[in-house]
Chains A and B, each alone.
Chain A
């Protein structure tokens, strides 16, 4: 069974750094893309960016470029989303999802990682 399992809930203070993870299983990790999607409380989905773990080719949404870093470690089939200095406005649920290609449907999705940034 193809699965994406994300790391657990995080609580941080403004200005702190954070790295959350998304581990793929049940398929060849390096042959598919992994996208990250933000969902702020009570709001809609926002596409943040996508990475191809095979060669780390990465594309960011203009809204998120420079705000986050997407990376992957193919040796452990894991993709990451990281912040160097969190803001309260980063409080959200973050999902990872697999794509057959950079433009393809996202399926399946991880269970989500809730991030709370509060002083």
Chain B
């Protein structure tokens, strides 16, 4: 199983919007709606930001949104804030009922 494909890095200015893509195959992203996104600050454990493609857990800012088209999922962060600077990982269930993560994207707020 190869990791889902994410851009290594993205950047944006405070107040702007950015989108992180996550590309897989019909055996993972394209075959189900169990796509999640996790935020990880340096030295900290990951935290779920989006689940089941587009759902936000309680307590997560509505500036975070998720979507999916075909084999590609996307995470959009609007109104960028300095605290959003972190690594972001997508994940998907596979046709083998395992889970696969993306390689991670480093978001820099410049």
Residues of A within 8 A of B (CB): 35, 37, 44-47, 49-50, 59-63, 95, 97, 102-107, 109-112
Contacts and interface: CB of A to CB of B under 8 A. Distances in A.
Contacts of A63: 1
B45 A47 contact: no
Contact of A102 (B1, B47, B97): B97
B104 A104 contact: no
Interface in B25-80: 32, 34, 36, 38, 40, 45-48, 51-52, 57
26 contacts: A37-B46, A37-B101, A44-B102, A44-B104, A45-B89, A45-B101, A47-B91, A47-B98, A47-B99, A47-B100, A49-B98, A50-B99, A59-B98, A61-B1, A61-B98, A63-B1, A95-B45, A103-B32, A103-B34, A104-B51, A106-B91, A107-B47, A107-B51, A109-B46, A111-B45, A112-B45
B46 A95 contact: yes
A35 B48 CA distance: 14
Contacts of A49: 98
A109 B34 contact: no
A106 B36 contact: yes
Closest 8 A/B residue pairs (Cβ): A105-B51, A109-B45, A44-B104, A47-B99, A45-B101, A103-B93, A107-B48, A103-B34
